[in-house]
Amino acid sequence: MNFITYNYRKLLHLFFILALVCSANPARAQRLHIIVGGPNFRPFPIAAPKIASVGKSSSTREAAELTEIIQQDVDLARSLELVPPSSYLVATNDTWQNPRYQNWVNVGASALIRGIVEKVGKNIKVSLKLYDVISQREILNKVYQDKPTKTAYISHQFIDAVIMLLTGEEGIYSSKIAYIKNTRKAKALYNCDADGRNPKRITDSDVLNLLPAWDPTGRFILFTSYLKGNPDLYRFDRSNNSMQVISSQRGLNTGAKVSPDGKHIALTLSIDGNTEIYVMDTNGKNLRRLTDSWGQDVSPTWSPDGRRIAFVSSRSGNPHLYIMNADGSEVRRLTFQGNYNQEPNWSPRAGGQIVFTARDERLKFDIFIVHPETGEITRLTQDDGDNESPSFSPDGHQIVFISTRAPGSSRKLMIMDADGKNQRRVSFDLAEYEMPAWGPRLGYQ
Amino acid sequence: MAGGTQNHGRSMSEINVTPLVDVMLVLLIIFMVTAPLIQQGVAVDLPKTHAPSLDIKADRVVLTITREQKIFLGEVEIPYAQLRAKVSNNIKLKADREIYLHADRALPYGFVVDVMAIMKDAGVETLGMVTDPVSVVKP
């Protein structure tokens, strides 16, 4: 016992010295960076109690909205974890300026978000703070003034600032997701915020639209439309809400993806009857054919460095994933398991993996991820309806996809972490959703 | 898939463990800790012991019960009726699995055990009983 006590003291002494060394280094003392997705990664637990409404004219509705959206944004973010609000121990002397830190430590929080909202003329003024409850100090202080309808954008901006402070990486809340939504008469192109809010219809015609894809700047959304009867490739310009034909070859003009440098489009055409993969400049000129096989070659997706393209081919009988150089050379088969692999989407992170949909032996669709060099496959969804059409978030930490899991078994928009954890629904209306494409960061609007 | 129907028609052969789980305190590890290191708010008249005790860990949650049967988590009073709901989602209790019980010596045994059972359900496996050292014998 004495021996143990002695060693324990020595250890304590060592820790004390370490603590001194660490606090002598200002950069180290300032904050603890968490490496998202690292081997010891655990989401950062944050408490987000009710935002208070202050001032004479009432802003209780905005305060309630902000509370809800901030809690959802913390919950959805890959690097953060929402400490369950039902567990909060709020003392009567716990105020916006002066949190009782121990009560937040006691519910497992490492940080605390506090905020007040007040009416200023026709606008709302929202003050939000982030406190480190371990070192007991304020580490972020932001004030936003905007229209009362902009509560989501205020929350998105603040949570992205929190993520930047804690991880050194940009968040996802300035990005949008494009998708196809089944209306009564058409399949229309829409986009929404990264959390499913603010859905906006883009195409107003009552025709079939499919397979949206963003260009890296976020200005354009490419998609295929039957507007003129043939599946032609169109480009929607978000800067002036105009639509432009990019490719209208005979047959299919589908599955277009813009290269990471924004200069080229890879797409599937069926000019001579068989579907093959082509590449062209973004204005539709300089068309070059990349594949030449008797099978179907479809669904190209660019590697993050733009030097390679993964695609689906049935040249070996069943649809499987293949990889080639961006000029069509050095084609190699990537997947050997399964007999129906499709819809590849390459992570935007350097060295990132390729997520895809596979049909298993029970004819159920599920989402898998494959390493582009080793070919090692990991399953991300299982026993939960059909899961399809995965697309990576701009930071590569999360994946948006379509699932038919309950309730109602209709196709809903879902988001999960890139390792398959935290699968959650982000579309809540009754409509059917298809083919989501997670776009780049666009700024808050 | 092989054996798709393997779970059908099989009789229940396991022992029903539910009544055993009810006797949950059997699984609760209890030890004693000294009081002077408790810094958090509420004053209670602690039991006095001569038994050897351990030093307290400063970062653990302290559960205080006063002579009037008022319950405090840290410095915040939680009505008995809300206690279970309040602690059932507490991620710190689930992670630490340890709590310090800082309760008045005059409290009914039944009430204390009741509160301990609620803590056990919230994920607590180790309970430190805070006592007033009369003369602490160091191990």
Q: Please write the tens of the pLDDT for every residue from A297-320.
A: 999 999 999 999 999 999 999 999
Of A101-105, A325-329, B42-46, B133-137, the one with minimum mean pLDDT is B133-137
Query: For position A42, what pLDDT does the model report?
Result: 85
Query: For position A33, what pLDDT does the model report?
Result: 58
Residues A176 and A436 sit within 8 Å (Cβ to Cβ) = no
- Using the structure block, give the residue that is written with the tokens 């301990």: B116
Position A205, amino acid: S
Query: For position A366, what pLDDT does the model report?
Result: 96
CA-based nearest residue to A255, from A211, A308, A191: A211
Inform me whether the C-beta atom of residue A364 falls under 8 Å from chain B C-beta atoms. no
pLDDT of B45 over the 90 cut: no
Phi, psi of A288 (to 5 degrees): -130, 140
Number of other residues whose CB lies within 10 A of the CB of residue B4: 7
Chain A and chain B share a number of CB contacts under 8 A equal to 49
Give the side-chain half-sphere CA count within 13 A for A26: 0
**Would you state the structure tokens that stand for residue A341, as one six-digit string?**
């692999």
Mutation choice for B interface testing from A12, A87, A104 by most B CBs within 10 A: A87
- Using the structure block, give the residue that is written with the tokens 């905007």: A146
Query: For position B4, what pLDDT does the model report?
Result: 43
Query: For position B60, what pLDDT does the model report?
Result: 85
Give the side-chain half-sphere CA count within 13 A for B21: 6
pTM: 0.83
Residues A166 and A112 sit within 8 Å (Cβ to Cβ) = no
Query: For position A41, what pLDDT does the model report?
Result: 80
CA distance A231 to A228: 8
Residues A411 and A405 sit within 8 Å (Cβ to Cβ) = no
- For residues A257 and B23, which has the higher predicted lDDT (pLDDT)? A257
Of A260-264, A276-280, B48-52, the one with minimum mean pLDDT is B48-52
> Model confidence at B8, in pLDDT bands (50, 70, 90)?
low
Inform me whether the C-beta atom of residue A338 falls under 8 Å from chain B C-beta atoms. no
Residues A277 and A297 sit within 8 Å (Cβ to Cβ) = yes
CA distance A148 to B108: 54
A-chain CB neighbours of B88 within 8 Å are 86-87
pLDDT of A182 over the 80 cut: yes
Query: For position A56, what pLDDT does the model report?
Result: 80
Is B75's CB within 8 Å of A361's CB?
Answer: no
Mutation choice for B interface testing from A83, A102, A105, A363 by most B CBs within 10 A: A102
Query: For position B129, what pLDDT does the model report?
Result: 85
Nearest chain B CA: its distance from A45 CA (Å):
9
CA distance A252 to A399: 27
Q: B80-88 and B109-121 helices cross at what angle (nearest 10)? A: 20
Is A100's CB within 8 Å of B59's CB?
Answer: no
Both ends of chain A: CA-CA distance in Å?
Answer: 64
Average pLDDT estimate for A209-238: 95
pLDDT of B31 over the 80 cut: no
Query: For position B127, what pLDDT does the model report?
Result: 87
Nearest chain A CA: its distance from B3 CA (Å):
14
Residues A65 and A51 sit within 8 Å (Cβ to Cβ) = no
> Model confidence at B22, in pLDDT bands (50, 70, 90)?
low
Query: For position A10, what pLDDT does the model report?
Result: 43
- Percentage of chain A modeled with pLDDT above 70: 91
Is B86's CB within 8 Å of A103's CB?
Answer: no
pLDDT of A32 over the 60 cut: no
Average pLDDT estimate for A23-44: 58
Chain A residue nearest residue B54, CA to CA: A5
A-chain CB neighbours of B61 within 8 Å are 106
Average pLDDT estimate for A47-52: 95
Query: For position B53, what pLDDT does the model report?
Result: 59
pLDDT of A264 over the 50 cut: yes
Q: What is the residue-averaged pLDDT of chain A?
A: 89
Query: For position A289, what pLDDT does the model report?
Result: 95
> Model confidence at A14, in pLDDT bands (50, 70, 90)?
very low
- Using the structure block, give the residue that is written with the tokens 């196809």: A180
Average pLDDT estimate for A369-398: 94
Which residues have CB under 8 Å from A200's CB, separation 6+? A190, A191, A192
Average pLDDT estimate for A170-198: 93
**Would you state the structure tokens that stand for residue A264, as one six-digit string?**
């080229």
A-chain CB neighbours of B102 within 8 Å are none
A-chain CB neighbours of B123 within 8 Å are none
Is B40's CB within 8 Å of A107's CB?
Answer: no
- For residues B110 and B2, which has the higher predicted lDDT (pLDDT)? B110
Mutation choice for A interface testing from B60, B72, B90, B94 by most A CBs within 10 A: B90
Is B76's CB within 8 Å of A361's CB?
Answer: no
